[in-house]
Amino acid sequence: MEHSAFAPFIRPAAAQDAGRLAEILVFNNRLNFFPIFKDEQYSFREMQVVPLARQLAEDRDALARTFVWDDGVLRGFVRLRGREVEKLFVDPCFQGRGVGAALLAFAVTCFEADHLWALEANTGARRFYAAHGFAPTGESRFEEGTSQRLLLLRRPD
């Protein structure tokens, strides 16, 4: 399906989006992952918007696999790796308004995305994905360098 035919606000990411993408990642990390990992060094010292934005702007491969919801305000994004949803984040100020659902439906419809990894402890994300047809497969692994488990979620064929 033609990308623009899917949703008028979803477009490929560009290098000039890097600052906003970094903001979304940092805010989501602090609100959703810091309570799980409790890693102050990473969440409040290492993960900073400006350096992350520079890194994102230079990562042409990641940008080429990233699609943003932009209706004048970049509200969220999805990054794919083949048929895997590698990242899906919506600015916390705009969550619950259908942005994440539209980005996920875009990934499923336009790229046949059928699986992703979600933190077991992130119950909000797991509920969101379950509501959109992604179910645990029973396969899991540890998030690198942590005691937290990632669960493989898959859409049925």
- In this prediction, residue 3 carries a pLDDT of 53
**Mapping DSSP to helix (H, G, I), strand (E, B) and coil, where does residue 66 land?**
strand
- In this prediction, residue 157 carries a pLDDT of 75
- In this prediction, residue 6 carries a pLDDT of 56
Tokens found for residue 98: 């259908």
- In this prediction, residue 1 carries a pLDDT of 43
**What is the gyration radius of the CA atoms in the chain, in angstroms?**
15
- In this prediction, residue 103 carries a pLDDT of 97
Tokens 């909000």, residue located: 124
HEC assignment per residue over 112-145: CCCEEEEECCCHHHHHHHHHCCCEEEEEEEECCC
Tokens 């042409």, residue located: 60
Q: Which residues of the chain have pLDDT under 50?
A: 1-2, 4
